[in-house]
């Protein structure tokens, strides 16, 4: 039998504790926390939830970093970018979008895509294109240029840029 590292043993123990049933109608600790059942044993939801949650965060079982969900259901990364500049210029049969972006997070970002979307005067989507930003990885507090080209359509009136990862997670941009 393979010997498990200590951290794995602790995580398994915590998972067992979360599903452990105590004599309060056969409810697990998670059920008691969810429904606010108080059993008076000292291990009820009022007594255990905060220390248990903090311990789980400390071990990495629960992720305490904030994130939100965009309209397509993809998780928005908690990493942040600052859009320093952007320009949209028509050049023959293309819209050239370019600018600079700064990583204002504490971690490096890899495989960052600049995604340019084009809309008509009523806000209806027409087209989009994407390209990797120039610097990969983008280190903390580093500035990178970006550029992408979209085939021109005479109906194009409005343009936007956002930054994502390869797997489609939107990176919050100020």
How does strand 125-132 pair with strand 170-173?
Answer: unpaired
Q: What is the reported pLDDT for 36?
A: 52
pLDDT digits (tens, 9 = 90+) for 119-167: 999 999 999 999 999 999 999 999 999 999 999 999 999 999 999 998 8
CATH 2.60.40.10 region(s) of the chain?
A: 68-173
Which whole number is the average pLDDT over 103-109? Answer: 91
CATH homologous superfamily of 68-173 equals Immunoglobulins (2.60.40.10)
How does strand 125-132 pair with strand 113-119?
Answer: antiparallel
**Residue 132 per-residue DSSP state:** E
Nearest Cα neighbor of 170 from 123, 115, 131 is 115
pLDDT digits (tens, 9 = 90+) for 44-73: 555 555 555 555 555 555 444 444 444 454
Question: Are 33 and 17 a contacting pair, CB within 8 Å?
Answer: no
The answer on pLDDT for 75 being more than 50 is no
The answer on pLDDT for 110 being more than 90 is yes
Cα gap 109→81, rounded to integer Å? 10
Residue, of 147 and 11, whose pLDDT is higher:
147
Cα gap 141→87, rounded to integer Å? 22
The answer on pLDDT for 94 being more than 80 is yes
Q: What is the reported pLDDT for 68?
A: 43
pLDDT digits (tens, 9 = 90+) for 154-174: 999 999 999 999 888 899 888
Q: Which of 23-27, 109-113, 125-129 has the lowest mean pLDDT?
A: 23-27
Task: Give the other-Cβ count within 10 Å of 174's Cβ.
Answer: 9
């Amino acid at each position: 039998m393979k010997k498990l590292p200590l951290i794995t043993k602790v995580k398994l123990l915590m998972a067992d504790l979360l599903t452990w049933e105590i004599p309060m109608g056969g409810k697990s600790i998670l059920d008691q926390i969810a429904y606010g059942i108080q059993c008076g044993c000292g291990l009820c939801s009022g007594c255990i939830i905060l220390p248990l949650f903090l311990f789980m965060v400390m071990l990495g079982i629960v992720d305490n970093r904030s994130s939100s969900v965009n309209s397509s259901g993809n998780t928005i990364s908690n990493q942040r970018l600052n859009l320093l500049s952007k320009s949209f210029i028509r050049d023959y049969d293309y819209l050239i979008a370019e600018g600079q972006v700064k990583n204002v997070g504490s971690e490096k970002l890899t495989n960052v895509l600049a995604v340019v979307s084009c809309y008509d005067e009523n806000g209806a989507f027409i087209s989009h294109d994407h390209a990797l930003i120039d610097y990969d990885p983008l280190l903390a507090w580093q500035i990178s240029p970006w550029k992408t080209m979209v085939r021109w359509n005479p109906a194009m009136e409005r343009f936007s840029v956002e930054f994502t990862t390869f797997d489609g997670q939107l990176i919050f941009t100020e």
